[in-house]
Protein backbone atom coordinates (compact mmCIF):
# COMPACT_ATOMS: atom_id res chain seq x y z
CA UNK A 1 0.00 0.00 0.00
CA UNK A 2 1.45 3.38 -1.06
CA UNK A 3 1.68 6.22 1.44
CA UNK A 4 -0.16 9.42 0.48
CA UNK A 5 2.24 12.19 -0.48
CA UNK A 6 2.79 14.96 2.03
CA UNK A 7 1.24 18.03 0.39
CA UNK A 8 3.35 20.43 2.46
CA UNK A 9 6.53 18.63 1.43
CA UNK A 10 5.55 18.86 -2.24
CA UNK A 11 4.97 22.61 -1.93
CA UNK A 12 8.36 23.12 -0.28
CA UNK A 13 10.13 21.08 -2.98
CA UNK A 14 8.45 23.06 -5.74
CA UNK A 15 9.47 26.35 -4.04
CA UNK A 16 13.10 25.23 -3.85
CA UNK A 17 13.04 24.24 -7.55
CA UNK A 18 11.60 27.62 -8.53
CA UNK A 19 14.27 29.47 -6.52
CA UNK A 20 16.97 27.36 -8.14
CA UNK A 21 15.67 28.12 -11.61
CA UNK A 22 15.57 31.85 -10.81
CA UNK A 23 19.21 31.83 -9.74
CA UNK A 24 20.24 29.96 -12.88
CA UNK A 25 18.35 32.39 -15.08
CA UNK A 26 19.65 35.59 -13.46
CA UNK A 27 23.12 34.31 -12.70
CA UNK A 28 23.04 35.70 -9.18
CA UNK A 29 21.55 34.96 -5.79
CA UNK A 30 18.66 36.91 -4.27
CA UNK A 31 21.21 38.68 -2.06
CA UNK A 32 22.98 40.20 -5.04
CA UNK A 33 19.77 41.99 -6.07
CA UNK A 34 19.36 43.91 -2.83
CA UNK A 35 19.85 47.64 -3.03
CA UNK A 36 22.42 48.74 -0.51
CA UNK A 37 20.70 51.85 0.75
CA UNK A 38 19.41 52.59 4.23
CA UNK A 39 16.84 49.81 4.20
CA UNK A 40 17.31 47.36 7.06
CA UNK A 41 18.00 43.93 5.58
CA UNK A 42 16.75 40.95 7.62
CA UNK A 43 19.65 39.02 9.09
CA UNK A 44 18.50 35.71 7.62
CA UNK A 45 17.81 37.03 4.12
CA UNK A 46 21.32 36.42 2.80
CA UNK A 47 22.21 32.81 3.62
CA UNK A 48 25.57 32.83 1.85
CA UNK A 49 28.13 35.16 0.30
CA UNK A 50 26.47 37.13 -2.48
CA UNK A 51 27.89 37.81 -5.90
CA UNK A 52 28.76 41.46 -5.30
CA UNK A 53 30.81 40.65 -2.19
CA UNK A 54 32.49 37.74 -3.97
CA UNK A 55 33.54 39.94 -6.91
CA UNK A 56 35.00 42.56 -4.57
CA UNK A 57 36.93 39.97 -2.56
CA UNK A 58 38.29 38.45 -5.77
CA UNK A 59 39.81 41.81 -6.69
CA UNK A 60 40.69 43.37 -3.33
CA UNK A 61 40.44 40.54 -0.79
CA UNK A 62 44.16 40.17 -0.17
CA UNK A 63 44.70 43.91 0.24
CA UNK A 64 41.69 44.16 2.54
CA UNK A 65 42.99 41.45 4.83
CA UNK A 66 46.56 42.81 4.83
CA UNK A 67 45.52 46.38 5.69
CA UNK A 68 43.00 45.29 8.31
CA UNK A 69 45.56 43.03 9.97
CA UNK A 70 48.10 45.84 9.95
CA UNK A 71 45.78 48.07 12.00
CA UNK A 72 44.16 45.39 14.14
CA UNK A 73 40.64 45.57 12.71
CA UNK A 74 38.54 42.54 11.74
CA UNK A 75 38.56 42.62 7.92
CA UNK A 76 35.00 41.30 7.86
CA UNK A 77 33.84 44.35 9.83
CA UNK A 78 35.62 46.58 7.31
CA UNK A 79 33.88 44.67 4.54
CA UNK A 80 30.52 45.27 6.22
CA UNK A 81 31.19 49.01 6.56
CA UNK A 82 32.28 49.20 2.94
CA UNK A 83 29.18 47.40 1.74
CA UNK A 84 26.93 49.86 3.54
CA UNK A 85 29.00 52.90 2.59
CA UNK A 86 29.67 52.41 -1.12
CA UNK A 87 28.35 48.98 -2.17
CA UNK A 88 31.98 48.30 -3.19
CA UNK A 89 32.04 51.10 -5.79
CA UNK A 90 35.50 52.75 -5.73
CA UNK A 91 34.16 55.77 -7.64
CA UNK A 92 31.20 56.40 -5.32
CA UNK A 93 30.66 59.99 -4.16
CA UNK A 94 27.94 60.91 -1.66
CA UNK A 95 25.86 64.09 -1.74
CA UNK A 96 27.97 65.33 1.18
CA UNK A 97 31.20 64.78 -0.74
CA UNK A 98 32.37 61.51 0.87
CA UNK A 99 34.45 59.53 -1.60
CA UNK A 100 35.57 56.05 -2.53
CA UNK A 101 35.12 52.57 -1.15
CA UNK A 102 35.08 53.74 2.46
CA UNK A 103 33.32 57.06 1.76
CA UNK A 104 35.94 59.25 3.41
CA UNK A 105 34.92 62.86 3.93
CA UNK A 106 37.45 65.29 2.38
CA UNK A 107 38.36 66.95 5.69
CA UNK A 108 38.88 63.60 7.42
CA UNK A 109 40.80 62.25 4.44
CA UNK A 110 43.17 65.21 4.31
CA UNK A 111 43.91 64.94 8.02
CA UNK A 112 44.52 61.19 7.93
CA UNK A 113 46.49 61.36 4.68
CA UNK A 114 48.81 63.95 6.19
CA UNK A 115 49.40 61.84 9.30
CA UNK A 116 50.09 58.66 7.33
CA UNK A 117 51.94 60.09 4.30
CA UNK A 118 49.24 59.22 1.78
CA UNK A 119 49.05 61.40 -1.35
CA UNK A 120 46.34 59.97 -3.59
CA UNK A 121 43.13 59.51 -1.58
CA UNK A 122 41.19 58.58 -4.72
CA UNK A 123 43.25 55.43 -5.22
CA UNK A 124 41.04 52.49 -4.11
CA UNK A 125 43.85 50.90 -2.08
CA UNK A 126 44.68 54.18 -0.32
CA UNK A 127 41.01 54.98 0.27
CA UNK A 128 40.58 51.55 1.82
CA UNK A 129 43.64 52.13 4.00
CA UNK A 130 42.35 55.51 5.22
CA UNK A 131 38.97 53.96 6.03
CA UNK A 132 40.53 51.16 8.05
CA UNK A 133 42.68 53.64 9.96
CA UNK A 134 39.66 55.83 10.64
CA UNK A 135 37.60 52.87 11.86
CA UNK A 136 40.52 51.77 14.06
CA UNK A 137 40.73 55.25 15.53
CA UNK A 138 37.00 55.22 16.29
CA UNK A 139 37.39 51.93 18.14
CA UNK A 140 40.24 53.38 20.20
CA UNK A 141 37.99 56.24 21.28
CA UNK A 142 35.76 53.87 23.28
CA UNK A 143 38.28 52.07 25.54
CA UNK A 144 35.72 51.47 28.29
CA UNK A 145 33.27 49.69 25.99
CA UNK A 146 33.62 45.95 25.57
CA UNK A 147 32.92 43.39 22.86
CA UNK A 148 30.06 44.13 20.51
CA UNK A 149 29.28 47.42 22.25
CA UNK A 150 32.66 48.79 21.27
CA UNK A 151 32.16 47.80 17.63
CA UNK A 152 28.69 49.34 17.49
CA UNK A 153 29.81 52.60 19.07
CA UNK A 154 32.75 52.80 16.65
CA UNK A 155 30.52 52.11 13.66
CA UNK A 156 28.09 54.79 14.83
CA UNK A 157 30.96 57.27 15.18
CA UNK A 158 32.19 56.37 11.70
CA UNK A 159 28.79 57.38 10.39
CA UNK A 160 27.76 60.46 12.36
CA UNK A 161 31.02 61.57 13.95
CA UNK A 162 32.73 60.90 17.25
CA UNK A 163 31.42 64.01 19.01
CA UNK A 164 27.82 63.08 18.20
CA UNK A 165 28.23 59.71 19.86
CA UNK A 166 29.97 61.33 22.83
CA UNK A 167 27.05 63.73 23.20
CA UNK A 168 24.69 60.74 23.27
CA UNK A 169 26.93 59.12 25.88
CA UNK A 170 26.61 62.25 28.01
CA UNK A 171 22.81 62.05 27.78
CA UNK A 172 22.83 58.34 28.63
CA UNK A 173 25.03 58.95 31.65
CA UNK A 174 22.81 61.83 32.85
CA UNK A 175 19.79 59.51 32.64
CA UNK A 176 21.57 56.86 34.72
CA UNK A 177 22.29 54.50 31.83
CA UNK A 178 25.60 52.91 30.86
CA UNK A 179 27.34 55.29 28.40
CA UNK A 180 29.44 52.39 27.10
CA UNK A 181 26.40 50.36 26.08
CA UNK A 182 25.19 50.78 22.52
CA UNK A 183 21.61 50.09 23.64
CA UNK A 184 21.80 53.09 25.98
CA UNK A 185 23.50 55.33 23.41
CA UNK A 186 21.04 54.24 20.71
CA UNK A 187 18.18 55.36 22.95
CA UNK A 188 19.95 58.65 23.71
CA UNK A 189 20.71 59.72 20.13
CA UNK A 190 17.13 60.88 19.41
CA UNK A 191 17.33 63.05 22.53
CA UNK A 192 19.96 65.22 20.83
CA UNK A 193 17.33 66.92 18.65
CA UNK A 194 16.28 70.51 19.39
CA UNK A 195 12.92 69.43 20.82
CA UNK A 196 14.75 68.21 23.94
CA UNK A 197 16.34 71.57 24.70
CA UNK A 198 14.99 71.59 28.30
CA UNK A 199 16.94 68.38 28.94
CA UNK A 200 20.10 69.77 27.35
CA UNK A 201 20.18 72.69 29.77
CA UNK A 202 20.77 70.23 32.60
CA UNK A 203 23.70 68.56 30.81
CA UNK A 204 25.62 71.28 28.97
CA UNK A 205 26.38 74.78 30.24
CA UNK A 206 25.75 76.14 26.72
CA UNK A 207 22.25 74.70 26.83
CA UNK A 208 22.72 72.43 23.82
CA UNK A 209 24.85 69.40 22.81
CA UNK A 210 28.55 70.10 22.33
CA UNK A 211 28.34 69.23 18.63
CA UNK A 212 25.00 70.95 18.14
CA UNK A 213 21.51 69.57 17.65
CA UNK A 214 21.20 66.27 15.82
CA UNK A 215 18.15 65.48 13.74
CA UNK A 216 19.49 62.70 11.51
CA UNK A 217 19.68 60.06 14.22
CA UNK A 218 17.41 57.63 12.36
CA UNK A 219 19.95 57.35 9.56
CA UNK A 220 22.68 56.51 12.07
CA UNK A 221 20.55 53.92 13.86
CA UNK A 222 19.74 52.21 10.57
CA UNK A 223 23.36 52.42 9.50
CA UNK A 224 24.63 50.63 12.60
CA UNK A 225 21.94 47.98 12.35
CA UNK A 226 22.76 47.27 8.70
CA UNK A 227 26.51 47.15 9.23
CA UNK A 228 26.23 44.78 12.17
CA UNK A 229 23.89 42.51 10.23
CA UNK A 230 26.32 42.46 7.31
CA UNK A 231 29.13 41.75 9.75
CA UNK A 232 27.22 38.83 11.19
CA UNK A 233 26.68 37.45 7.69
CA UNK A 234 30.34 37.80 6.73
CA UNK A 235 31.52 36.39 10.05
CA UNK A 236 29.52 33.25 9.32
CA UNK A 237 30.18 33.01 5.58
CA UNK A 238 33.88 33.89 5.86
CA UNK A 239 34.82 32.19 9.13
CA UNK A 240 38.18 30.95 7.87
Concatenating the DSSP letter of every residue in the chain gives -PPPP-HHHHHHHHHHHHHHHHHHHHSS-GGGG---SSPPPPTTS--S--HHHHHHHHHHHHHHHHHHHHTT--HHHHHHHHHHHHTT-TT-B-TT--BTTTTB-HHHHHHHHHHTT---TTSHHHHHHHHHHHHHHHHHT-TT--HHHHHHHHHHHHHH-HHHHHHHHHHHHHTTS-TT-HHHHHHHGGGGSGGGHHHHTTT-TTSS-TT-----HHHHHHHHHHHHHHHHHHHHHT--
pLDDT over threshold 80, residue 23: no
| Mean of the per-residue pLDDT values of the chain | 82
- The model's pLDDT over 28-67, given as tens digits with 9 standing for 90+, comes to 332 322 233 444 555 555 447 888 899 999 999 999 999 9
pLDDT over threshold 50, residue 11: no
Domain positions in the chain? 43-140, 145-230
Active-site residue identified among 28, 63, 85, 225: 85
85 is catalytic: yes
Please provide the CATH number assigned to the domain covering 43-140.
1.10.530.10
Using 50, 70 and 90 to split pLDDT, how confident is the model at 111? confident
Q: Determine contact, residues 223/84, Cβ cutoff 8 Å.
A: yes
pLDDT at 95: 84
Amino acid sequence: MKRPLDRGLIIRLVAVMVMGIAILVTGESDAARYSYDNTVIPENSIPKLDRQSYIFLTEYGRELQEISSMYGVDWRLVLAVMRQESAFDPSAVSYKGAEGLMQIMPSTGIQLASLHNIEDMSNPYMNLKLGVIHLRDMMRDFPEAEGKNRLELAVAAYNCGLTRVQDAQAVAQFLGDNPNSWVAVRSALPLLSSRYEPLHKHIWSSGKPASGYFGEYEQTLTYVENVMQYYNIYANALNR
